[in-house]
Amino acid sequence: MAMAGTYQFNPPCVLDAPAVGDAAPGTFALPQMQKGHKTARGDNAAFPPAILAIRHLLLHVPMMFRLLQCGPRGANPFRIAIRFPHLRVLLAVALGLLLSTFAAAQQPDAPRPPLSVQRQPNGLPAVHQLQVFEDQTRSLGIEQVRAPSQQGRFAFPDDPLRGKESDRVLWFKLQMRLADPTDAADAAREWLMLVPTVSTHDLRFYGPFDENGRALAAPVTTGMRYPWASRPAASEQMAWRFQLPGPGTYTAYFRVESTFARIYDVTVWDPADYLQSTQDKRMFDGVTYGILIGLMVYGLVLFKVFGEGLYGFYMLSCACGVLALGSINGHALRYPFAHWPEAAGFAYTAGPALWAICKLQFGRRLLRLRHFAPPLDWLVQAFTLALALAIPYANWGAHPLMTFRLVQISVMASTVVMVIGALIAMRRRYWPAVLYFFGVALLLGGVGAIVVASWGWIEWAPNQMNISQGALVAELIVFAVAMGSRLQLVLRSEQALTERTQQLVEALGTDALTGASSRAGFESRGEEWLQRQQPFALMLLDLDGFKGVNDAHGHAAGDAVLIAIAQRLRQQLRKDDVVARFGGDEFAVLVMGTPTRDALSQMALRMIEAGRQPVDYEGRDVSVGMSLGVACSPGDGDTLARLLRSADRAMYHVKQRGTAPSFMFAADLAAIDAPRSQPVPLDAQRPDGDTALGSR
């Protein structure tokens, strides 16, 4: 025996549907509707009973199919429904609800009062009095639309500001009347109907028509297909001037044909109020363009200085950002392409894609994706190729809207990829990626709002474009800071590399600039010869007038002189001799063996003469002099330090003397200094007969 309200199967069939209470094995108990049962949207009390009945019926649909599958052959769903009282009730309620819904769908919208037109400083919203229908033939004219057969097609949309853009033709109807027909100022006032779009290809205004069907103004045609002169209100957004001359209801129509057609947040303005309301937007746009142009110049300077593609793509990102924002704001058609609407349309389509391409190439270079994340780098390149192919197809292909959707998806998806790439680079402690991450996150939040609104996921809002525009500028500013951080890292890295190279070069005993031996190499060779008791001569040289070369021609000219002097000194020496640069403009020479005094003198003269020869630097002759001191081992010193000191004293004596010859031997200087160092006897007489102390 089965319990009441159950269906017995033979053999038993286990059903996985929810049951209330206990049932015998092989039976199925229908769930009961309970007042406290929670739904996905809250408590049952929040729903009408008919909706709850439909929901409960839908819960039983899978069970009915299982009944048909597991039950006896020939089981009839209606018999099953009859066997279960709950199903009978639910089916009856559902059928009644469906019939009432169908009947409601056949009834026209409830009439709404005409828009009561009056002056409001922030504009008068008209979207909820706006009726619309889609002209699928794309061929209806105003007379056909005003015919009774077409008037019934107009309907008030349930959620007018939430809808996706699509390639279609829409007809809009707006009935209006003056809020105060006795106000002579309002009757004589010229009103402005604003349709907030710059991308509509063809927009035609008709009317307004009075109650007798008479048009009070000629039709107006404007849009992106037409030159700027077609705009009746000289506004970037589509606007139309009209008048309501007195009492009565007036009807206005406008037709929208566009790849991006949707229901617009139409408003009615006094022209002076509208002009005043646009001042903040114009200021915001001007500041935006100024910042982007400044960042573009910044990128251009870095590109000219460093010649790296990273800075070139940043500069192009700023330039394409100006193009994209100028097109989206309607300034491209107003200023550079006022008489060339086709170019303005191309800029509107290509600008965002070009900006995305440059931004992706900049990001992959800044984040070094090829090094940190090769798969992501390949994916970014694929997005770049897709965007590049989409540009011509969006303008001349058969499916521009679909292509534009693909561009939007590519921009969003590639931005997510770049966020992932930034996170990977951050894990590698690449700190510019932190700034890049925040910049891309700003953009994703700003651009995401306008993209998902165009898909119909959220309502359109007047400030969505401003948010996206601000996010784009903020992103590029953060990118500029990230570039500065990267540049600082590169400079630090290069500085460390230079210092390390200098250390290695010095360890090898070579001067990095001239290729001569370094001081370390010089001392190593000198100490080696001293330990071997190898006699040699040491010459110490200092350039005369070198500071003037640096001051007059720059340090690059000074470097050229040092390189030339080192080469000329090597040409005057033998293979085993050593030329070293001590630093600055000081050189030292080690001459192996025991050359005679005359040989050393001739060698010194040749060096001095070679040093005096002009050095050609960028077409200019640059010349310096040379002072030279000579010390010989072991006579002038038994250590390298003493030899250097002796040669240094001789060299500076030559500098102080200032006359030829420009060299001196340390031994000669010692002979000159010897009498001065001897004590003078107190009783020594001068030639005039006085003692050294003088007579008292």
Domain spanning 115-269: which CATH class is it, in words?
Answer: mainly beta
Using CA atoms, how far apart are residues 67 and 62, in angstroms rounded to an integer?
A: 9
Domain-wise residue ranges, the chain? 1-107, 115-269, 286-491, 509-675
- Please give the pLDDT value at position 85: 59
3-state SS, residue 434: helix
Of residues 32 and 559, the one with the higher pLDDT is: 559
- In this structure, are residues 622 and 561 in contact, taking their beta carbons and an 8 Å threshold? yes
Rounded CA separation 565/557 (Å)? 12
Q: How is residue 120 written in tokens?
A: 């409001």
Quick check: 601 and 552 in contact, CB under 8 A? no
Tokens representing residue 546 in the block: 């070198």
Q: Which CATH class is domain 509-675?
A: alpha beta
CB contact burial 495-517 (16+ within 10 A = b; e otherwise): eeeeeeeeeebeeebbbeebebb
| Residue pLDDT, tens place only, 245-259 | 989 999 999 999 988
Residue 372: predicted pLDDT: 87
Over 80: is that where the pLDDT of 346 sits?
yes
Same fold, 115-269 and 509-675: no
Rounded Cα–Cα distance for residues 95 and 674 (Å): 132
Token pair of 544 as six digits: 């005369």
d(CA 186, CA 178): 7
DSSP 8-state class, residue 17: S
Q: What pLDDT was estimated at residue 52? A: 45
Distance CA 379, CA 374 (A): 9
Q: pLDDT (tens digit, 9 = 90+) per residue, 498-508?
A: 887 777 766 66
Q: What letter represents residue 455's amino acid?
A: W
Q: Tell me if 406 sits within 8 A of 383, measured CB to CB.
A: no
Encode burial over 409-433: b for 16+ CB neighbours within 10 A, e otherwise: ebbbebbebbbebbebbbeeebebb
Please tell me the number of Cα atoms within 13 Å of 166 on its side-chain side: 11
User: How many Cβ atoms from other residues are within 10 Å of residue 543's Cβ?
Assistant: 20
Residues ≥6 apart with Cβ < 8 Å to 380: 360, 363, 364, 369, 414, 417, 418, 421
End-to-end Cα spacing for the chain: 158
Q: What is the pLDDT of residues 192-212, one digit of tens each?
A: 999 988 888 899 999 999 999
pLDDT at residue 86, as a whole number: 55
Does residue 58 register a pLDDT over 70?
A: no
Residues sharing a CB contact under 8 Å with residue 442, sequence separation 6 or more, in sequence order? 471, 474, 475, 478
DSSP output for 505-523? HHHHTB-TTT-SB-HHHHH
> pLDDT-derived band of residue 88, with 50, 70 and 90 as boundaries?
low
d(CA 317, CA 315): 5
Q: Do residues 249 and 177 lie in contact, with contact meaning Cβ atoms separated by under 8 Å?
A: yes
d(CA 320, CA 312): 12
CA dist list (Å): 370 to 45, 198, 365, 481: 58, 40, 8, 22
The answer for residues whose C-beta is within 8 angstroms of residue 302's C-beta and 6 or more apart is 308, 311, 314, 483, 487
Residue 585, Cα to own-chain centre: how many angstroms?
A: 48
Residue 446: what pLDDT? Answer: 74
| Lowest-pLDDT range of 150-159, 608-617, 686-695 | 686-695
Question: What's this model's pTM, rounded to 2 decimal places?
Answer: 0.61
Bridge partners of residue 568, in order along the sequence: none
* 47 pLDDT above the threshold of 80: no
